[in-house]
Amino acid sequence: MSKVGKVLRRPVPSSAYSWYPSAFGIRQRQLDTLNAKLVNSDPLVKKIRNKQPVRVAVTGGAGAIGYALLFRIANGELLGPDQPVEISAVELPFAMNALRGVAMELEDCAFPLLSKLNITDDPEKGFEAADIALLVGSKPRGPGMERADLIRENGVIFQKTGQTLNRVAERHCRTTVVGNPCNTNALIAANNAPDIPARNFTAMTRLDHDRAVGFLAKKTMMPVNEVNHFAIWGNHSATMFPDISNTTIHGVPAHELVGEFRFQRFWQNEFIPKVQQRGAKIIQVRGSSSAASAANACIAHTRDWCLGTPIPDWQSMAVISDGEYGVPAGLCFSYPVRCQNGGYTVVTDDEQPVTHAKWWYQMKEYHIENNVQELLAERDVVSSLLPN
Ligand code: NAX
């Protein structure tokens, strides 16, 4: 098994103290004490608390997503309106001129929170002392290129990136992988950075999550923040599983709102294909892939990870599995997660209170297994890049 087999996450899962009595808040106090210890020993959380500049490295800064991302980070949308940031943008040599132009524009904005801006085509310099790494740059799929070739070619890039992060980034560096195939790229980077905890590598399925929440809000004519407890499971690909079995809309379970039978038809025939195919649809209509919405999702994913998700709701993040829900440990798999104090926990079965007919569970198991199989196949393609 790969090095990222067993990972301990934070905050401490509530199940870890289930043998403590919950009366008089005893269990909660134990959890809070342990979490506080972990948080106080986290240099990134400390930096954010003390408002010291946080160093954010971004690859692909001259690309479409990078262009939409950098300005928002500099404007304080990643870590808050009072948190200084240093940006280090990393590009390939051929795109350095374009990146110089982006840097000039950033200077022209005179962002008060941007304490330092560094652009480079040398990853060693780019990732040096990075607290957060947003890995957006990757090779696009060319005409006639097989998915396996794309996975292999990008795999080599993410192998080097993982090794470089291991050498020069901070040990607490949080890495969000956006560049596709993002789950497998995150897996490769995590495997090649043995000194950085595997839990610090995640891949972005937040765009799929937000797209689905947007559809549900539109369908029910409700504000988006009234749509809660939605989840994306698995791989960021057309196989992903958009799960509305626990979703509540304005506090009411979605299936009660729509009616069980209509809900089943809507979910299977309309909703799932629509979410799975949304990326392709955008390319068809816009002529190029999602950029501003992807940048927005990257910011939301990383912001929630560092600053927390609104409780009791959850978000979707692809994280290195600890074996939850029968997913092989070490795969990078999208789960519903709660973030708090700079860490995350996978939402467990017992936190999903809604009980359904048998077919709901069978469907979920089927889709999770499909995603596991796809990710295992991707892992096989890049097995030579995963040191044992
Ligand atoms: P662009 O082709 O516009 O930009 C990519 C940029 O990355 C280019 O400027 C390129 O020079 C740079 N780059 C490539 N390899 C690099 C490396 N090793 N180091 C530094 N820079 C490097 O693509 P864009 O539209 O910005 O998309 C970027 C990636 O995001 C793609 O892989 C795309 O598939 C992926 N996406 C992921 C999404 C997700 O939800 N996870 C959704 C949006 C997007 O499709």
- What atom in ligand 1 is closest to the CA of residue 204? 41
Tokens of 260: 């069980």
Cα(60) to centroid(ligand 1), Å: 6
* pLDDT on residue 351: 61
Chain segment 63-98, per-residue pLDDT in tens: 999 999 999 999 999 999 999 999 999 999 999 999
Chain segment 39-71, per-residue pLDDT in tens: 778 899 999 999 999 999 999 999 999 999 999
How distant, in Å, are the alpha carbons of 152, 170, 177, 195, 257 from that of 166?
21, 8, 15, 6, 49
- Domain extents in the chain: 50-203, 206-379
Rounded mean pLDDT, 168-181: 97
Cα(197) to centroid(ligand 1), Å: 25
Cα(139) to centroid(ligand 1), Å: 7
Q: Show the ligand 1 pocket: residues with CB < 6 angstroms.
A: 59-60, 62-66, 90-92, 95, 136-140, 157, 178-180, 182, 204, 207, 236, 289-291, 294
**What CATH code is assigned to 50-203?**
3.40.50.720
Quickly state the pLDDT bin for 207 (edges 50, 70, 90): very high
Q: Whose CA is nearest to atom 42 of ligand 1?
A: 294
Distance CA(80)–CA(50), nearest Å, equals 13
384 contact partners, CB below 8 Å, separation of at least 6: none
Given ligand 1 and candidates 67, 70, 91, which is best to mutate, with the most ligand atoms within 8 Å of its CB? 91
* pLDDT on residue 6: 42
Rounded mean pLDDT, 31-42: 74
Chain segment 126-167, per-residue pLDDT in tens: 999 999 999 999 987 766 777 788 899 999 999 999 999 999
- Other CB atoms within a 10 A radius of the CB of residue 326 amount to 10
Residue appearing with tokens 């297994």 = 369
**175, 186 in Cβ contact below 8 A?**
yes
Distance CA(348)–CA(44), nearest Å, equals 26
Which residues carry out catalysis? 236
Domain 206-379 annotated CATH 3.40.50.300: no
Cα(178) to centroid(ligand 1), Å: 7
**141, 179 in Cβ contact below 8 A?**
no
Quickly state the pLDDT bin for 15 (edges 50, 70, 90): low
Rounded mean pLDDT, 211-231: 94
User: On the CB side of 50, how many CA atoms lie within 13 Å of its CA?
Assistant: 10
* pLDDT on residue 201: 97
Given ligand 1 and candidates 135, 141, 153, 178, which is best to mutate, with the most ligand atoms within 8 Å of its CB? 178
**pTM of this prediction?**
0.92
**186, 200 in Cβ contact below 8 A?**
no
